[in-house]
Amino acid sequence: MSVEQTLQERSGHKCELCGSEEGLQAFEVAPSDGSAEQSILVCATCAEQIENPEKMDSNHWRCLNDSMWSSVPAVQVMAYRLLYQLRAEGWPQELLDMMYMEDDVRKWAEAGLPQDDDDVTPTKDSNGTILNEGDDVTLIKDLDVKGAGFTAKRGTLVKNIHLTNNPLHIEGKVNGTQIVLVAAYLKKA
């Protein structure tokens, strides 16, 4: 039986990442020996986005919420790598934190990650604009400030923000109080 036939049988004739039944093809999960155990069956859409990361549509990859739990190590590895590439979106980081893999599978997954010197995920506002240390931002919705007893009103300007270790949050002063704000509720001024 060929690798593709084995993958078709294993997957039930569906993409092992998104579940599509159109344009299926075998995809080797590097480093691979070409076997079915180190390959997955993907649709044309998934294959195109894996091979061309600049064309990635993060909404398409919400399907990884299901496929990351596959019992097939090659599917786990590819789900991990894709979530890792998309972690700046916010939601993939939560899935990465929940994901469980055996040690040898995790090593395989991490071996295929791009090695870049700048491993810092940028902090982005609600429009996807990258925020930098010292920027000014505006609140796009009313926010209840826990522990301070006030509501930060929509349209409030927060000057000279500070970035945190978490790319989803920034620090800034509102009504004279230093608070942590969710970047998704801000827009660059």
pLDDT digits (tens, 9 = 90+) for 169-184: 999 999 888 999 999 9
Least confident of 6-10, 118-122, 176-180: 118-122
Asked if residue 117 is part of any domain, the answer here is no
Tell me the residue range of the domain where 155 lies: 123-188
The last residue of a domain, from among 78, 111, 144: 111
Asked if residue 99 is part of any domain, the answer here is yes
Percent of the chain with pLDDT over 90: 69
Residue 124 scores a pLDDT above 60: yes
Same domain, 31 and 63: yes
Q: Mean pLDDT for the chain?
A: 91
Same domain, 102 and 150: no
Helix, strand or coil, per DSSP, at residue 69: coil
Q: Which residues of 159-174 are buried (b: 16+ CB within 10 A; e: fewer)?
A: eebebeeebbebebeb
- Predicted local confidence at residue 37, as pLDDT: 95
Task: Label residue 115 by pLDDT band (50, 70, 90).
Answer: low
The last residue of a domain, from among 59, 84, 111: 111
Contact 17, 67 (CB under 8 A): yes
User: Distance between terminal CA atoms of the chain?
Assistant: 60
**CATH label of the domain that carries residue 167:** 2.30.30.40
The tens digit of pLDDT for each residue in 28-71 reads 999 888 899 999 999 999 999 999 988 889 999 999 999 999 99
Helix, strand or coil, per DSSP, at residue 36: helix
Asked if residue 49 is part of any domain, the answer here is yes
Same domain, 35 and 73: yes
**DSSP assignment string, 94-111:** HHHHH----HHHHHHHHH
- Predicted local confidence at residue 117, as pLDDT: 46
CA distance 133 to 131: 7
What one-character DSSP code corresponds to residue 171?
E
Asked if residue 118 is part of any domain, the answer here is no
DSSP H or E segment with residue 12: none
Mean pLDDT of 121-135: 90
pTM score, whole prediction: 0.61
Same domain, 95 and 149: no
Asked if residue 150 is part of any domain, the answer here is yes
- Predicted local confidence at residue 149, as pLDDT: 86
Asked if residue 164 is part of any domain, the answer here is yes
- Predicted local confidence at residue 146, as pLDDT: 83
Percent of the chain with pLDDT over 70: 96
- Predicted local confidence at residue 31, as pLDDT: 86
Same domain, 95 and 161: no
The last residue of a domain, from among 62, 82, 111: 111
Return the C-alpha torsion angle 49, 53, 59, 64, nearest 10. 70
Same domain, 86 and 127: no
Same domain, 139 and 102: no
Strand stretches in the chain, DSSP E: 25-28, 39-42, 123-124, 130-131, 137-139, 143-145, 150-152, 157-158, 162-163, 169-174, 177-182, 186-188
The tens digit of pLDDT for each residue in 87-102 reads 888 899 889 999 999 9
Contact 112, 67 (CB under 8 A): no
Asked if residue 116 is part of any domain, the answer here is no
- Predicted local confidence at residue 25, as pLDDT: 95
Same domain, 102 and 130: no
Helix, strand or coil, per DSSP, at residue 145: strand
Task: Label residue 116 by pLDDT band (50, 70, 90).
Answer: low
What's the Cα-to-Cα distance from 30 to each of 84, 127, 163, rounded to whole Å?
16, 35, 35
User: For the chain, what's the residue count?
Assistant: 189
Same domain, 95 and 180: no
Cis, peptide link before residue 31, omega less than 30° from 0: yes
- Predicted local confidence at residue 119, as pLDDT: 55
Same domain, 130 and 82: no
Same domain, 93 and 143: no
